[in-house]
């Protein structure tokens, strides 16, 4: 059908709910569902507005369908129930873009002025909570720096202990070679030295174990105490359902300074499927406490001194040394305990920060509280310099 024929037919027919003929001068729009034409003036839509509408639906069709889009400026049909990425969703808007644009205008018109007013006139309690949050953030940053420093010290300590043992082993071997080369002509002096060494090294006094109460010789008392303590500790099981080393570094900042803490033992029990929570370097159940036959003690002769490669070491074999029983393990365990304390402190600060943040969010009662809040500023307005000069002027009249 030609356009002229369509025009003649349109003039004869009656359109819209006003049941008037097409006058040829006004604008008309067609419903996409029922194919009925409507006068633009009757449905209050101009030709410019119709150009922005993808599909127009009349009032009756909208009632029979999902309804009109919740955006008042849009006359399209709402999507209703639809599927997206395998999920069943429901929307009262015709599209995501239309809903976002409408809510953005609502946000800028209603919420943003209220929020700016509260920001410009904050309450004293809110200022205090903000200051508390800033202090907690500073303490967290200091704790993270301390954790990184302790991790570096622990790695450095482990490296120095290995070097000290290698040096002590080399020194012991040199001393043994020198003793073999030396030949003593004075047998009395040799006997005298043997007697003095025996007098120094052999202490036959008796003492009692503080754990099991049995009587022990003083030479072997310390080693017995440690073994008895290890046996006693192994009877108690400190376990967890999940690996704890990974939980220590949930925060990205901690993961950056110490990606693999290696503080807990984390040996899994096959029966209970739980993980050991003893300190890794001194675990009484899963650590290897046996020594090699040729392993040297290498403990600094001044026990509490800083670890240095100065050659001032104990050159006894580790299995025979009664004065420095597993000193290296306990040094590392002490450093790990310091690291664990800092991790606990970080967790405590993180929990305080979380509670303070929630309390700060609830200061105005969320979005509804902000919308219902009305701030009144009772502070007197500040005067300019010219106004203060006018007030200080004396009226000579």
Q: What is the pLDDT of residue 147?
A: 92
> By the 8 A CB rule, do 346 and 254 touch?
yes
The answer, yes or no, to whether residue 229 has pLDDT greater than 80, is no
> By the 8 A CB rule, do 71 and 98 touch?
yes
Q: What is the pLDDT of residue 54?
A: 75
Residue 273 gets the label, from left (phi > 0), alpha (psi -120 to 50) or beta, of: left
Alpha helices in the chain (DSSP H): 3-12, 40-43, 47-50, 59-64, 96-106, 112-120, 124-181, 187-201, 218-233, 244-248, 252-257, 327-361, 366-372, 385-392
Q: Using pLDDT thresholds of 50, 70 and 90, give the confidence band for residue 389.
A: low
Q: Using pLDDT thresholds of 50, 70 and 90, give the confidence band for residue 204.
A: low
The answer, yes or no, to whether residue 349 has pLDDT greater than 90, is yes
The answer, yes or no, to whether residue 47 has pLDDT greater than 70, is yes
The answer, yes or no, to whether residue 365 has pLDDT greater than 90, is no
347, two tokens = 């967790």
Average pLDDT of the segment spanning 249-266: 84
Name 370's Cβ contacts closer than 8 Å, sequence gap at least 6. 111, 114, 115, 118, 364
- Cα–Cα distance measured from residue 166 to residue 161, given in angstroms and rounded to the nearest whole number: 9
Q: What is the pLDDT of residue 386?
A: 57
Q: What is the pLDDT of residue 332?
A: 86
Residue 27 gets the label, from left (phi > 0), alpha (psi -120 to 50) or beta, of: beta
Q: Using pLDDT thresholds of 50, 70 and 90, give the confidence band for residue 119.
A: confident
Highest average pLDDT, of 17-31, 34-48, 149-163, 213-227, comes from 149-163
Q: Is the dihedral of CA 166, 171, 176, 181 positive or negative?
A: positive
Q: Using pLDDT thresholds of 50, 70 and 90, give the confidence band for residue 200.
A: very low
User: Which stretch of DSSP H or E encloses residue 15?
Assistant: strand 14-15
Highest average pLDDT, of 11-20, 83-92, 140-149, 308-317, comes from 140-149
Q: Which residue has the tokens 């007030």?
A: 391
Q: What is the pLDDT of residue 134?
A: 93
86, two tokens = 């395998």
Average pLDDT of the segment spanning 235-255: 78
- Where exactly are the structural domains of the chain? 3-120, 128-179+204-348
Q: 168 burial class (0-12, 13-18, 19+ CB within 10 angstroms)?
A: buried
Name 12's Cβ contacts closer than 8 Å, sequence gap at least 6. 21
Higher pLDDT, 164 or 13: 164
**How is residue 307 annotated by DSSP?**
P
Mean of pLDDT over the chain? 77
Q: Using pLDDT thresholds of 50, 70 and 90, give the confidence band for residue 144.
A: very high
The answer, yes or no, to whether residue 263 has pLDDT greater than 80, is yes
To the nearest whole percent, how much of the chain has pLDDT over 90? 12
Q: Using pLDDT thresholds of 50, 70 and 90, give the confidence band for residue 281.
A: confident
The answer, yes or no, to whether residue 179 has pLDDT greater than 90, is no
The model carries a pTM of: 0.57
Domain covering 3-120, topology: Herpes Virus-1 (3.30.40)
Q: What is the pLDDT of residue 65?
A: 61
Higher pLDDT, 48 or 1: 48
Average pLDDT of the segment spanning 125-154: 91
Q: Using pLDDT thresholds of 50, 70 and 90, give the confidence band for residue 125.
A: confident
Residue 99 gets the label, from left (phi > 0), alpha (psi -120 to 50) or beta, of: alpha
């Amino acid at each position: 059908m030609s356009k002229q024929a369509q025009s003649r037919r349109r003039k004869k027919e009656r359109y819209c709910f006003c049941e008037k003929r097409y006058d040829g001068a006004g604008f008309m729009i067609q419903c996409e569902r029922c194919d009925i034409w409507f006068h633009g003036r009757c449905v209050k839509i101009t030709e410019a507005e119709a150009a922005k509408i993808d599909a127009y639906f009349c009032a009756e069709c909208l009632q029979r369908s999902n309804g009109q889009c919740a955006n008042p400026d849009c006359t399209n049909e709402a999507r209703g129930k639809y599927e997206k990425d395998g999920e069943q969703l429901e929307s009262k808007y015709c599209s995501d873009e239309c809903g976002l644009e409408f809510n953005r205008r609502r946000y800028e018109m209603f919420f943003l002025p209220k929020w700016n007013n509260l920001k410009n006139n904050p309450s004293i309690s809110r200022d205090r909570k903000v200051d508390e949050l800033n202090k907690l953030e500073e303490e967290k940053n200091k704790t993270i720096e301390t954790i990184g420093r302790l991790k570096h010290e622990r790695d450095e300590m482990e490296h120095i202990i290995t070097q000290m043992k290698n040096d002590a082993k080399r020194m012991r071997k040199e001393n043994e070679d020198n003793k073999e080369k030396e030949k003593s002509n004075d047998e009395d002096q040799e006997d005298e030295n043997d007697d003095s060494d025996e007098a120094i090294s052999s202490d036959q006094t008796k003492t009692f174990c503080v754990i099991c109460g049995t009587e022990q010789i003083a030479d072997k008392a310390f080693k017995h105490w440690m073994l008895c303590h290890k046996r006693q500790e192994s009877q108690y099981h400190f376990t967890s359902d999940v690996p704890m080393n990974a939980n220590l570094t949930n925060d990205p900042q901690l993961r950056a300074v110490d990606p693999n803490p290696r503080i807990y033992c984390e040996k899994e029990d096959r029966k209970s499927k739980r993980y050991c929570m003893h300190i890794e370097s001194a675990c009484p159940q899963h650590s290897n406490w046996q020594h090699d036959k040729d392993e040297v003690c290498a403990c600094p002769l001044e026990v509490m001194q800083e670890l240095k490669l100065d050659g001032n070491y104990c050159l006894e074999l580790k299995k025979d040394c009664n004065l420095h029983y597993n000193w290296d393990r306990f040094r590392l365990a002490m450093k790990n305990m310091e690291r664990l304390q800092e991790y606990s402190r970080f967790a405590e600060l993180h929990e305080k920060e979380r509670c303070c943040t929630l309390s700060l969010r609830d200061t105005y009662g969320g979005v509804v509280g902000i919308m219902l809040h009305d701030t009144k500023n009772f502070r007197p307005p500040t005067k300019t310099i010219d106004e203060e000069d006018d007030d200080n002027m004396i009226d000579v009249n």
